[in-house]
Structure formats: C-alpha cells, structure tokens
Amino acid sequence: MTWLVSPPEDTGWRLDPGVVVARLRERWPEAAIREVTQPSRRHVSHEWTVSMPHGRLDGRFFPRHSGLHLDGHLEDAVTFAVWYRSLAPDDQVVWFNDDAYTMHVDVRPGATEDDLLAAVEGAAG
C-alpha cells in the first residue's frame, strides 16, 4: 500500500534533504539510501529501502513540500511517519494519508505509533 506523509499545504517549512538522510541513517543504519539525480525525477531528492517488522518499506523524499511517499505495510509506514514527525517543529501540521486521499489524519507532536494507528483505523471507518 502507498502512504503519504507531508504538510497538508505549503506552509513555507522545508526540511533539508541532508537532515532527512542523516537522521534516517541514525535511526535505520541498515537502510539502503540513494540520491536521485535524474532530471526527469527532479522533485525527488532521495529514495530508500528499510527492512521493517512487516517487510520492506520503500520511501521517497520530496524536498519542495517536505513530503514522503512510502510503499509498504500500514504499521511500518506508521512507525516511519511517527519518526518523521519528530523532525518537524511542533507547530507544523503533518498529515498521514493514503495515496487516494480517501482519509487523512494529523500526526501530532509526541504521537506514538499506537496513537497514529488508532487514528488511521478510525478514519478508515
């Protein structure tokens, strides 16, 4: 399944790709991280693969919107979203949503994986 993690709109907040990569290496040292340099994919700065409890989680970082695109199991994507939220200032709104935009939930500062998973399951109905 595909999941998105990003501010709901352009707020001017930007997370530097170097910070994302450095923190990603700290949290998941075994992650395979690649810089994206193809002109046709200029909106993506980096992509990665991380081994997670439920399988492989693939991700991409979109620096223009400080957003993530994640492919993998819901619980693994939630773990990643909670980690990513910790990189944003507390006053920055960050959403977690499916790729069809049929639901979205606010990833609040200090949220736990259980908090976010419950919110996602509640939003999905």
The reported pLDDT for the residue numbered 52 is: 97
Among 29, 21, 115, 110, CA closest to 68: 21
pTM: 0.94
Give 18's contacts (C-beta < 8 A, 6+ positions apart). Answer: none
Low pLDDT (below 70) residues in the chain? 125
Q: Which domains does the chain have, with CATH numbers?
A: 2-124 (3.30.310)
The reported pLDDT for the residue numbered 109 is: 96
> Are the beta carbons of 48 and 24 closer than 8 angstroms?
yes
